[in-house]
Amino acid sequence: MKLWKVIGLAAFAGVAASGAVVARNQRRRAAYTPDQVRERLHERLAEATRSRSE
């Protein structure tokens, strides 16, 4: 019975930790303006195009 309690607590801690990571990433993404997002996408496209041509 104790083993199941430990497993349950570990699972709960894992879910809480992953939720915190997702929330932090969402806040980071939401902080960009549309112009910044567009600029980053253009940079990534240019980088991908360069790496293909090499």
Residue 8 is given by DSSP the state H
Render each residue's pLDDT in the chain as its tens digit; 54 residues.
Answer: 789 999 999 999 999 999 899 988 888 877 888 899 899 999 999 999 988 876
- Which pLDDT score, from 0 to 100, does residue 32 have? 83
Q: Is 12 exposed, middle or buried (0-12, 13-18, 19+ CB in 10 A)?
A: exposed
Closest CA to 15 of 27, 23, 25: 23
